Amino acid sequence: MDDGFGERDGGDAVDDEWLLRRAFTLARLARRNGDHPFGALLAGPDGKVLIEQTNGFSSEGGDMTAHAERLVATRASKTLPRAFLAECTLYSSAEPCAMCAGAIYWAGIGRVVYGQSERGLKAMTGNHAENPTLDLPCRAVFAMGQREVAVVGPMLEAEAAELQRDFWAGRHED
């Protein structure tokens, strides 16, 4: 099956843009499957993809906490050693919200790369009941912790914003 990810260049350097675009592909998959258009993955220090996750709002029975980033952090903390997670990077189609940033922090993940900013997402979604966005950047959450989490983003923000275009306006609020 063609997953739309393509092949990665053969170099040794970790390719943040390639891995972030892979998270974008997961977001498109989430949307096709009836979930909110968000995707995230965890890559090891060598760039090898370890965990992939789409948003789980609909597939998890309307669970408002089933964000792709939180689900990645939970899976990672259950299966991978903390010392190893400190060397890993979570790639997300959108900036992790406060809840997801907390999960990333407590799981011990050392680095985050994201596409669309939380503020940019809030501007697109408005006051939608299924996405009550907080204007609280993940950097602010991480800054309050006792250990550093490196953050890169927004990156490829216009491309990331396209994942959300027309999705929220067409969703009926219950």
Q: Which of the residues are catalytic?
A: 69
Cα separation, 42 vs 63, whole angstroms: 22
Residue keyed to tokens 């943040």: 16
Instruction: Determine the Cα angle at 28 with ends 15 and 39, to 5°.
Output: 55
Alpha helices in 81-152 (DSSP H): 82-85, 98-107, 118-125, 138-143
Cα separation, 126 vs 103, whole angstroms: 25
Residue keyed to tokens 């396209």: 162
166, two tokens: 């027309």
Q: What is the SS3 assignment for 47?
A: coil
The amino acid occupying position 10 is G
Provide CB contacts within 8 A for 21, sequence distance 6+.
156, 159
